[in-house]
Amino acid sequence: MLAFPSTYTVGITSLGYQVVWASLAQRADVDVRRLFTDQGDPPHRHCDLFGLSLSWELDGPVLLDLLEQQRIPIWAAERGDADPIVFGGGPVLTANPEPLAPFFDLVLLGDGELLLPAFIDALQQHRSAPRAERLLQLAQLPGVYVPSLYAPRYSSDGQLLAVEPNQAGVPATVAKQTWRGNTLSHSAVITPEAAWPSIHMVEVVRSCPELCRFCLASYLTLPFRTPSLEEGLIPAVEKGLAATQRLGLLGASVTQHPQFADLLAWLDQDRFEGARVSVSSVRAATVTAELGRILAKRGSKSLTIAIESGSERMRQVVNKKLSSEEIYSAARYAKDGGLTGLKLYGMVGLPTEEDADVEVTAALLLDLKKATPGLRLSLGVSTFVPKAHTPFQWQGVRPEAEKRLKLLAKRLKPKGIELRPESYGWSVIQALLSRSDRRLAPVIAAARGRHDSLGGWKQAYRGVREQTSGPESPPAWEEVIHASWSPGRVLPWEHLEGPLPKATLAQHQAGALTQTPPCAPDRPSPGA
C-alpha cells in the first residue's frame, strides 16, 4: 500500500508520489495499491508493505490516521511479524525524520531511482525472516535508515548528545542517496482530477546551483543535475504531448538548464500549436523577451520569480545572486513578451533582517507597478523557517516576522498589489516539526484530531511536557522554535549525512551573517 497524506486531487499531482508508484507498479513481484485520505484502490487481503510519501511537514500527523485506518499499530515498537513494514520517503523525511521516526520501521533517504529498487530486492530476499532480522538486514543498504536500531542519548538537562546504533553491525551514520543518471522524472498519470488538471509534468532540473542559505530544495538535493535535451527532455515531453495538450516544466530553477533556450525553441515549432506550457519558478536574471514571447504563445499568462527580499543587502545575506536591475528587467521582458502577470516570492524574518529591509521590499513592488503599467503583480510571502542540512539550520523563527507580514499588507494592498501571505502561526508549527527530535513523536500522537488548529498543537505540546519529566521530556517551545543554536550543538539529524558536511554549512552561515550590517538600504530606482 502506497499512501499520500492528502486527498487524491493533491496526491496525484505530486510528481514524486507518481514516480514511486509507477516504479513499484512496473515490478512483476509487487502488487501496489494507492491510498489517499478521501479514496484508495481496493485493499489487499494482506498487506506486507505500507509506504508514505511526505513532502510537507504539516502532513505528518495524517500518517497516524492512515495507519489506524489500515489497522496497523501506529508505533513501530508495537508491530509484530504479521504487521506490514512501514516505510517513508520524500524531502521532509530525508531532511529530518526524527519527529516521526518512532512511527516508521524504516525511512528511505534521498532519490528513489536506485534506492527504491534496491530496497524492494532486499526485502524480497529476506521476507521470510523474523521482523527484527529483516530490519537489521535492510539497515545495511545505503540510504536505508531503521530508527529502532538507533537510540538518542541526552544530558541531564535535556540536551541531545548523540543518536547512536544500539547494537553491533549497524552503520554509525546513514547517507542520503543521489541519482546521477541522464534522465529525471516525468508524469506517470495524467488525469483531469489532479490539482493541475490533465497536465504532463517533466522535471527539467534537480537541485539549484544558487545555494540560497535557507533553501532545502537546493542544499538537500545537491548536486545540481540536468538531463540531456535529446535523451531526457524531448522524449519525456513528446510522450506527454501525445496524451494531453498541457505541459508543466518543473524544477527549482528550470531556466538554468544549459539547454533551456534550445528546449524553448523546440517548443516554438508550429506542430505544438494549441499546447499549453507552464514553468515553475525561474531565476529572474534568466528571463528574456524570447522566454516571455514563447510562454505567452504557448498559453501561459504569468511568470514566477523568487526575489526573497526587495533589499539588496538581504539578498546578499541569503546568497541570492540577483540585482534590483535584473528584477525590473524580468518584469519588463515578461510584459514585452505578452505575459499579463508576474508572481514574486519573498520572505520575512530572515536572519539580520530589519524593518527597513521590509519597507524596501514594499517600495520595490510599488516601483515595479509604476515601471510596468498593465502587468498584474502579486507577492507571495512566507516566514523564514529553518531547515535541516542548510546553512540557516541553526537560526530560529523570528517573532517580529508576524508584524512584518502585516507591514507588507499595509503598504501593498491599498495600491492594488495582491499579497498572498503564508500564516505566521503555521510557520511556527512547521519549524517545530522540521527542527525537533524524537521527543516530538508523543506530541504528534497527542495532537491527532486537533492538528488542524494552532491551539491544538500548543495544547498537545504542553500536555506531553506536563506528563513527562527529565531528559525524555520535550524541550521548551521557545528553545525548539525561536532560539538560535550554536554551530557546535548536536543536531537531531546529525547521524544522517546530507550532501554537505556540517562544517561546510557552518562556514556558509558565517559568511552570510558577516555581510553588510543592517541599515536603511537605498530605495530602488525603477529606471535601473
- Per DSSP, the chain holds a count of helices (H) and strands (E) of 19, 17
Predicted local distance difference test score (pLDDT) of residue 60: 87
User: Domain boundary at 246, 280, 314, which?
Assistant: 280
519 vs 528: CA distance, rounded Å: 21
Predicted local distance difference test score (pLDDT) of residue 465: 96
How sure is the predictor about 182, in pLDDT bands with cuts at 50, 70 and 90? Answer: confident
238, 344: one domain: no
Q: Can you tell me which residue has the cell 520501521?
A: 105
Print burial letters for 384-395: b (CB count within 10 Å at least 16), e (below 16): bbbbbbbbbbbb
400, 352: one domain: yes
The DSSP letter of residue 100 is: G
pTM: predicted TM-score of the whole model, two decimal places? 0.95
Predicted local distance difference test score (pLDDT) of residue 522: 43
| Residue 35 within a domain | yes
Q: Which residues contact 72 (CB under 8 A, 6 or more apart)?
A: 47, 50, 79, 83, 84, 86
200, 268: one domain: yes
Predicted local distance difference test score (pLDDT) of residue 204: 97
232, 343: one domain: no
Whether 412 shows a pLDDT value over 90: the answer reads yes
Tell me the C-alpha to C-alpha distance, in Å, between residue 412 and each of 290, 373, 409.
30, 15, 5
519 vs 513: CA distance, rounded Å: 14
Q: Identify the CA nearest to 315 among candidates 519, 524, 512, 523.
A: 512
Which is higher by pLDDT, 44 or 141?
A: 141
Task: Please give the radius of gyration of the chain, using alpha carbons only, rounded to the nearest integer.
Answer: 24
Q: Identify the CA nearest to 435 among candidates 477, 375, 464.
A: 477
Mean pLDDT of all residues in 290-315: 96
Domain count, the chain: 3
| Residue 401 within a domain | yes
Predicted local distance difference test score (pLDDT) of residue 318: 97
How sure is the predictor about 4, in pLDDT bands with cuts at 50, 70 and 90? Answer: very high
22, 117: one domain: yes
Whether 279 shows a pLDDT value over 60: the answer reads yes
Q: Lowest-confidence range among 44-58, 221-235, 420-434, 504-518?
A: 504-518
| Residue 92 within a domain | yes
412, 360: one domain: yes
| Residue 388 within a domain | yes
Q: Identify the CA nearest to 480 among candidates 46, 96, 31, 9.
A: 96
Predicted local distance difference test score (pLDDT) of residue 518: 54
Question: What CATH number corresponds to the domain at position 501?
Answer: 3.30.750.200
39, 128: one domain: yes
pLDDT digits (tens, 9 = 90+) for 397-410: 999 999 999 999 99
**Mean predicted lDDT score pLDDT of the chain:** 95
Residue 37 grid cell: 485520505
Mean pLDDT of all residues in 215-222: 96
Q: In which region does residue 517 sit, left (phi positive, over 0), alpha (psi from -120 to 50) or beta (all else)?
A: beta
Predicted local distance difference test score (pLDDT) of residue 517: 56
Predicted local distance difference test score (pLDDT) of residue 45: 86
88, 207: one domain: no
* 174-175 vs 160-165, strand pairing mode: unpaired
Distance of CA 505 to the CA centre of its chain: 18
Whether 82 shows a pLDDT value over 70: the answer reads yes
Helix, coil or strand: residue 204: coil
Entry field: residues in the chain: 528
Whether 519 shows a pLDDT value over 80: the answer reads no
332 vs 329: CA distance, rounded Å: 5
pLDDT digits (tens, 9 = 90+) for 111-164: 999 999 999 999 999 999 999 999 999 999 999 999 999 999 999 999 999 999
Whether 170 shows a pLDDT value over 80: the answer reads yes
| Residue 120 within a domain | yes
486 vs 175: CA distance, rounded Å: 23
How sure is the predictor about 524, in pLDDT bands with cuts at 50, 70 and 90? Answer: very low
Whether 84 shows a pLDDT value over 60: the answer reads yes
The DSSP letter of residue 499 is: S
pLDDT digits (tens, 9 = 90+) for 326-340: 999 999 999 999 999
Predicted local distance difference test score (pLDDT) of residue 527: 42
Q: Identify the CA nearest to 462 among candidates 483, 482, 443.
A: 443
**Structural domain for 192, as ranges:** 183-280
| Residue 289 within a domain | no
| Residue 473 within a domain | no
Task: Write a three-state SS string for 125-162.
Answer: HCCCCCHHHHHHHHCCCCCEECHHHEEEEECCCCCEEE
Q: Identify the CA nearest to 176 among candidates 504, 500, 497.
A: 497
Mean pLDDT of all residues in 453-459: 94
523, 388: one domain: yes
209, 61: one domain: no
267, 352: one domain: no
Q: Which residues contact 448 (CB under 8 A, 6 or more apart)?
A: 61, 64, 65
295 vs 334: CA distance, rounded Å: 9
128, 214: one domain: no
Whether 91 shows a pLDDT value over 80: the answer reads yes
Q: Which residues contact 344 (CB under 8 A, 6 or more apart)?
A: 304, 305, 306, 307, 327, 365, 377, 378, 379, 380
324 vs 482: CA distance, rounded Å: 31
Mean pLDDT of all residues in 276-281: 93
Q: Can you tell me which residue has the cell 513523536?
A: 441
Residue 435 grid cell: 527542527
* 2-3 vs 34-35, strand pairing mode: parallel
142 CB-contact burial (10 Å; exposed 0-12 / middle 13-18 / buried 19+): middle
Q: Where are the alpha helices (DSSP H) in 197-323?
A: 216-219, 234-241, 260-267, 289-297, 312-317
Residues 305, 344 contacting (CB under 8 angstroms) = yes
Print burial letters for 263-283: b (CB count within 10 Å at least 16), e (below 16): bbeebeeeebeebbbbbbbbb
User: Domain boundary at 143, 171, 199, which?
Assistant: 171
Q: How crowded is the C-beta side of 185, counted as CA atoms within 13 Å?
A: 21
Q: Is the four-CA dihedral 124, 129, 135, 140 of positive or negative sign? A: negative
| Residue 444 within a domain | no
How sure is the predictor about 516, in pLDDT bands with cuts at 50, 70 and 90? Answer: low
Residues 325, 307 contacting (CB under 8 angstroms) = no
